[in-house]
Structure 1
Amino acid sequence: MKQLSRPVRRAVLVVHVAVSVGWLGLTLGLLTLSVTGYTSGSLETTVAAYRAMKIFSDWLILPVALTTLVSGLVLSFGTPWGLARHRWVVVKFWLTSATVLLTAFSLRPGIDRLAADAVAGTPDTGLSMVSAPSVATATYLFVTAVSVLKPWGLTRRGGRLRAAQSAGARGRARKRPSGVVS
């Protein structure tokens, strides 16, 4: 893919950071609501907490998750970081992909079931819906740390690409026309 221009790269980066942080905030909100519903002694509070979780789940969580994944892919393919050059990018990609799938096929249906049971007067008293947002929040905090710290270095592919680029640069330096002073 062609490298993104600086203004486009910056715009995509702002979108990516904003939606990624939004995703973390949403999971913290879901965690807060699930803990409130779980620990509340009031049926009304439990129902309200679980219904609020459903609103976030229905309208925000999946679009934010998908936008995070897509904007990350655009950045990886449109910048020198690449998708498979650095281990931290690979880890972010796989964790983000897994959490998008878990959000779509586990978290959202779980929240729908939780809200329906609460509205029917039989709210879930187990920790199932506290654990899912807890794991998601921990995962997003880890991915955020990886984004900031950029640990682990190059992948094998990244090492080969860097070596090839270095060899190409040395080869161009040796082929200067005669009479050119360095």
Structure 2
Amino acid sequence: MSTSTASRPVPAARDNHVRWRLPVRLRKTVLVVHVGSAGAWIGIDVVSALLVLIGWTRSGDGRTTTYQALADLFVVPMLYAALAAGVVCLLTGVLLGLATKWGLVRYWWVAVKLVLNVLACAMMLAFLGPITELSTGEQPLQDIWFVAFLASTAMALLSFAMVLSVFKPWGRIRK
């Protein structure tokens, strides 16, 4: 009778230790919500940028009317929707970080994504006031650059976060 040593699964290294795990279906659901909210956030930013470009193509009273309509009907509500999507993305990202091997501050790419998300949400909060003033006419319409800056910066930050999610660069923060 020969004894063969069957390969046994090796226990996970301490580095990949997760304090608690989400059940598979719940983890996948949270991941779908995370990716969906990030996609919605990017989509809202793209639409906001296009609306600002439409306003810039107008001149005189047409420009004023366009910007007021954009601010009242589109930009402010979309900004609130983007903020909601950003908060959902942040919360689901933190939950995934805590409940997966990636952790919140175990890998550089995850930590950078967390900072980018918080920064983008803070930017939206900071710009809500000036944009709301713009829609009420309290601020000159030349200051629409706030919306353009917000949309383009958010698109750049969110696109970079998406690239980080795919390529996962830079390795671990500490061993």
Query: One fold, TM greater than 0.5?
Result: yes
Amino acid at match of 2:146: S
Amino acid at match of 1:63: A
Alignment of 1:63 onto 2:81? no
Amino acid at match of 1:54: V
> TM-score, normalization: structure 1?
0.77
Offset of residue 77 of structure 1: 0.2
> TM-score, normalization: structure 2?
0.80
Cα distance in 1 between the residues matched to 2:57 and 2:130: 18
Offset of residue 54 of structure 1: 1.4
Report how many residues are paired: 153
Cα distance in 1 between the residues matched to 2:34 and 2:139: 40
Answer yes or no: is the 8 Å Cα contact 1:114–1:124 preserved in 2: no
Unaligned runs of 5+ in 2: 1-18
Taking a change above 3 Å as real, the CA distance of residues 121 and 141 of structure 1, as seen in their structure-2 partners, is closer
Cα distance in 2 between the residues matched to 1:110 and 1:121: 8
Amino acid at match of 2:30: V
Write the mapping of 1:122-133 to structure 2, written as runs, cut at 5 A.
Answer: 122-124=140-142, 127-133=145-151
Alignment correspondent of 2:46: 28
Query: Runs in 1 of length 4+ with deviation above 3 angstroms?
Result: none
Percent of aligned pairs sharing the same letter: 27
Cα distance in 2 between the residues matched to 1:79 and 1:121: 46
Write the mapping of 1:127-166 to structure 2, written as runs, cut at 5 A.
Answer: 127-156=145-174, 159=175
Cα distance in 1 between the residues matched to 2:50 and 2:116: 23
Give a deviation string over 1:122-160, Cα, whole Å, max 9, x none: 52355332122111111111111111111111111xx2x
Alignment correspondent of 1:108: 128
Alignment correspondent of 2:27: 9
